Amino acid sequence: MGASDRLAAAGGRPVAGPDAAGAGTDDRAAISESAMKRFPWILTVLTVLGLILLIGLGVWQVERLKWKEGLIAAADAAAAKPPAPLDQVLAETGSGGDLEFRKALIVCPGLASAPFVELQSIHDGEAGVRLISACKPAGADFTLLVDRGFVGDGVTARPRVVETTLPLVMVGEFRTFDKPGAMSPAPRDGRFYARDTAAMAKALNVTGPVRPEAVFAITAVNPEFPALRPSAPPAAFSNNHFGYALTWFGLAIALAGFYVALLRRRTKKDIP
């Protein structure tokens, strides 16, 4: 029976045969092959790499958040401890403690009239200098650099400098600082513009070991000179890591949403 006979037997309607089935299969294969060619492989790879980077940065900020919270808690705990004799404070540090923000009772012979260098500084919005002197605690084999306090620029007088071994008992707070960078101005005429322990010790003619920490006097070293205000700088902890983490995770979500929307748009174009 020919094609016309089959058409007549079916009431004039075309009958699906092997030729029609083969054509449908070929069409679907062609569509599939076209879709594979149009699939955005490069965009997909770049999106995956971007997601890995953004999520990794978000996780890193979460880890930084936990580290900063631990650091703040440790600083608060150290600051809350009452002053203890210097030997005791250093012994605790040697057994795994942290000197940062610890307060110690220190006996410094001749500190009230010791030579000093000046460190350019700002205190409560006022420009001035901090006076730094060397202190070799009684019975110690090392030297501390003691920040005796702040003097405003409007005060030209300074404590007198007289060589003496008269003991002075003070309460000092230990703090640590990063070494000054290469761009820090060099000291000039006994005035420093960065807290450089080694350079300050050299300017004060210190011999022997010098501890790297700064010690801020928080009790008056020169009560007869009220313009010298003992103080320690406030803790400068910034804790924005939670916001940073949300930013990175939010960008990752936005990137994923953009990729999905673009992929759906391309898929719709591929469907006839």
> With helix as H, strand as E and coil as C, how does the chain read?
CCHHHHHHHCCCCCCCCHHHHHHHHHHHHHHHHHHHHHCCHHHHHHHHHHHHHHHHHHHHHHHHHHHHHHHHHHHHHHHHCCCEEHHHHHHHHHCCCCCCCCEEEEECCCHHHCCCEEEEEEECCEEEEEEEEEECCCCCCCEEEEEEEEEECCCCCCCCCCCCCCCCEEEEEEECCCCCCCCCCCCECCEECCCCHHHHHHHCCCCCCEEEEEEEECCCCCCCCCCCECCCCCCCCCCCHHHHHHHHHHHHHHHHHHHHHHHHHHHHHHCC
- What was the pLDDT predicted at 48? 94
- What was the pLDDT predicted at 232? 84
- Residue 25 makes CB contacts below 8 A (sequence gap 6+) with none
Q: Is the dihedral of CA 199, 204, 208, 214 positive or negative?
A: negative
- What was the pLDDT predicted at 38? 66
Which pair of structure tokens corresponds to residue 98?
């942290």
Which pair of structure tokens corresponds to residue 144?
């501390």
For 67-93, b/e burial (b = at least 16 CB within 10 A) is ebeeeeeeeeebeeeebeebeebbeee
- What was the pLDDT predicted at 37? 59
pLDDT (tens digit, 0 to 9) for every residue of the chain, 272 residues total? Answer: 554 555 445 455 555 555 555 555 555 555 555 555 567 788 889 999 999 999 999 999 999 988 888 877 777 777 778 889 999 988 887 655 678 888 999 999 999 999 999 999 998 889 999 999 999 998 899 999 999 999 999 999 999 999 888 889 999 999 888 888 878 888 888 899 999 999 999 999 999 999 999 999 999 999 999 999 998 877 666 778 889 999 999 999 999 999 998 888 877 765 55
**What's the pTM?**
0.65
